[in-house]
Amino acid sequence: MPTERTPLRIAVPNKGALSEGAAAILREAGYTQRSETKQLVHLDGETAIEFYYLRPKDIATYVGEGTVDVGITGRDMLIESGAAADEVLGLGFARSRFRFAGPTGSDLTEDKLDGARLATSYPRLVEQHLAQRGVSPRLIHLDGAVEIAIRLGIADVIADVVETGTTLRQAGLEMFGDPILQSEAILIKPADRAEMPDGFETLVRRLNGVLIARTYVMMDYDVDQDHLDAASAITPGFESPTIAPLSREGWFAVRAMVERRKAQQIMDDLWQVGARAILVTDIAASRL
């Protein structure tokens, strides 16, 4: 008798910087999400996937223990957790850098951190980074609002999440040393789990499809025979551009995917080599 496979269980951050982006990418991938923020479990009727809305810091622990099959967390949070979970896919939102910072003008470097009081919410991440350099500070573990710790006299330096740098600047701090980590939201699964439940591969394919649709646009244009090679070289597409003859003698219609952030420059370049009727459209979804 075939054994019945359990449905996929996915952990989704229930609050904080990851939660909106996680729900948005899952919706875009075609899964329904909880309708109100107090709900801790949601069943997607069509796929039978169960979504559990957990504290962001706990997600890697649940996935590492295998009590949920996959989760969305931050790369920094996964490392900090020490959980036995692996990154499957970068999801491109909640992008941040993890950096050292000290009072502006204090001229700090990493090797001056031996014995310094260093406040952070990510002690394991900092310790791993500095151990490789043979430096050991006195770590002060805080839960958040780390930027204020120096002013309040509890620490000499900090290591924290930086996005725009506004919080650091407002606290009179500046970054120093190498970036410790580039983080973003990631999809994780239990380390060394040989067989994943039904729905896992489809989830990864759907999420990849959303990332492609977010990153690329479709570009169409017309160009004559003499300029076709020059124009195609500007828009090589994923594998190669689609080229079709137009009813107008010696003219072709070309279609290729291009990076959204480069679209305006590419249109200018195409115009310069004689392409006309250049149109850009959004990709709503994709499987490549």
Ligand X SMILES: O=P(O)(O)OC[C@H]1O[C@H](OP(=O)(O)OP(=O)(O)O)[C@H](O)[C@@H]1O
Ligand Y SMILES: Nc1ncnc2c1ncn2[C@@H]1O[C@H](COP(=O)(O)OP(=O)(O)OP(=O)(O)O)[C@@H](O)[C@H]1O
Q: Which residues bind ligand X (CB under 6 A)?
A: 17, 144-147, 160-167
Q: 217 and 257 in contact (C-beta within 8 Å)?
A: yes
Assess 124 for contact with ligand Y (CB under 6 A): no
145 binds, among ligand Y, ligand X, none (CB under 5 to 8 A by kind): ligand X
When binding is defined by CB under 6 A, the residue of 18, 125, 157, 159 that contacts ligand Y is 18
Nearer to ligand Y, 163 or 268 (CB): 163
CA dist 7 → 61, 66, 174, 222 (Å): 20, 14, 48, 48
Name every residue whose Cβ is closer than 8 Å to that of residue 280 and which is 6 or more positions away in sequence.
217, 218, 219, 220, 263, 267
160 binds, among ligand Y, ligand X, none (CB under 5 to 8 A by kind): ligand X
Give the CA dihedral 197, 200, 202, 205, nearest 10 degrees: -160
Nearer to ligand Y, 91 or 217 (CB): 91
Residue nearest to ligand Y according to CB distances in the complex:
74
SS3 of 235-250: the string is: CCCCCCCEEEECCCCC
74 binds, among ligand X, ligand Y, none (CB under 5 to 8 A by kind): ligand Y
CB of 177 to ligand Y, least distance (A): 18
Nearer to ligand X, 7 or 165 (CB): 165
When binding is defined by CB under 6 A, the residue of 7, 34, 47, 57 that contacts ligand Y is 57
Q: Which residue has the tokens 């036995």?
A: 84
56 binds, among ligand Y, ligand X, none (CB under 5 to 8 A by kind): ligand Y
Site for ligand Y in 239-278 (CB under 6 A): none
Assess 97 for contact with ligand Y (CB under 6 A): no
Q: How many residues does the chain have?
A: 288
Q: Which runs of consecutive H residues, i.e. helices, occur in the chain? A: 19-28, 56-65, 75-81, 123-131, 166-170, 200-215, 225-234, 263-272
Assess 120 for contact with ligand Y (CB under 6 A): no
When binding is defined by CB under 6 A, the residue of 61, 96, 120, 232 that contacts ligand Y is 96
* Radius of gyration of the chain from its Cα atoms, rounded to whole angstroms: 24
Assess 71 for contact with ligand Y (CB under 6 A): no
Cα 157 to Cα 111: distance, rounded to the nearest angstrom: 13
Instruction: State the amino acid at position 268 in one-letter form.
Output: D
Q: Which residue has the tokens 């195609």?
A: 232
Q: Which residue has the tokens 């939102």?
A: 93
Beta-strand pair 173-183/96-103: antiparallel
Assess 102 for contact with ligand Y (CB under 6 A): no
Assess 79 for contact with ligand Y (CB under 6 A): no
Assess 77 for contact with ligand Y (CB under 6 A): yes
57 binds, among ligand Y, ligand X, none (CB under 5 to 8 A by kind): ligand Y
Assess 101 for contact with ligand Y (CB under 6 A): no
Site for ligand Y in 172-231 (CB under 6 A): 183
Residues lying near ligand Y in the complex (CB under 6 A): 15-18, 56-57, 74, 76-77, 94-96, 144, 161, 163, 183
